[in-house]
Structure 1
């Protein structure tokens, strides 16, 4: 009987509460914490994938810079050496002695300025006309302009050469820049922007007595800043890197832009790859700096114009 009474007393006694640590470890994680951990896991994989893509895209530029600081023997060695033993900074000085770099640089600047200014003026005016004005054969002319986007530029290469040759513009800045002062893409880009401008602004200007040119110059064009910025940087990049057309219409190194001059340097004598890579790095530097400074304007311009 004493054993039974002691067992009953033990069963009736209240059990001690579990320790705080044990209770916390047994408690399941809050739903909010589980959601955060589930959300961070996909972001981690996305960041890893983007970082790998960034390395792949940056690697050619790193290889170019390392090649420009190597010797020709190191570049031609098998297996290739990734890091040069001694940095050859003299390759950048040899660029100016082996290439008419400064002359070709100013040719590239002149061509780029002419094409950029021409496209900003002509494409903005054409885009406004197609978007806001009504005139005979508007649809036919718009279809003809947009059809240029579907035709490879190599198709009309020979007719353009015949026109430039007839004008006597071979081996000149005007002959290289002339075919690029207007573009169907720039017209379409500006047309898409002007279509999105509210009609009330144009109607208010006309009620104040403004003619169509004043509406375009004082009302529409100041609003088109983002699209004009995007068209500027796109035209500059395209014109600076243009290679095929300058090779067709220019045969003298002094009249070539940088892209064509560096390309022809590879075939004149035994190719000096470090000097050629140094020239490419010098040619790329100003346009890369311009793109870094204005890349936000490009995105804003494409977003405002409705293009994807």
Structure 2
């Protein structure tokens, strides 16, 4: 009887150990027949965020003729929608059309390609929107392809990681910036400024947009050097500002700037009031000391 029990236990253990091997082999088989590879860093967010920014996605041919004329590639994330892509680039002779479907899928259709070379599609500044509050967990990036019978296959297994909801207790944030100073103070701690704040010709206090806005928790700033455009993502707001413009766009809506956006020594500057509008700082939380030429922001943030 004991021998029989040992035999059954051994058989059960062997079956348990076999399942991961079988699963891995199936994944390997799928990977081997993939026409393209997809690379993207894991984007970590929390389930209170409705929007998140994916910095880069690279789609590369595994074989030279994967991007053949007429082929389509569609990308999908469960419970999320693609809403905007800031920049798309292709290598070689590749020409493609792109579209975002009503269901939130991102689709590419190949128009022209070189069947003798490995070609790539590079995306940057990809904005995604959650359909509802996302459960904590890891989310795959799926792909379908017309040359794989539109089978939905996971291509990036750790595309988005959703962590626990952030602490909704407000915390004090004190910022102090002196004109022409090479540092600013955040809650008493000094931080370097590459280019100091200054007063514009029209009398507005001008602040470097990246260094100041990124002091606020959760703010992300991207800079497009070709377009001379800054993109700020803060909470549910998506803000874009072009150098020299007298307007900024918040979630697609035009807002007049107090002072035109200026670029000085490679940094974009906007007025103090416009920074406060982007970061939702009340007017009463902003103070100006004319004697020391210092601006202070004493507010509370989540």
> Structure 2 length normalisation: TM-score?
0.20
Greater Rg by CA:
1
Between Structure 1 and Structure 2, which shows a larger proportion of helix residues? Answer: 1
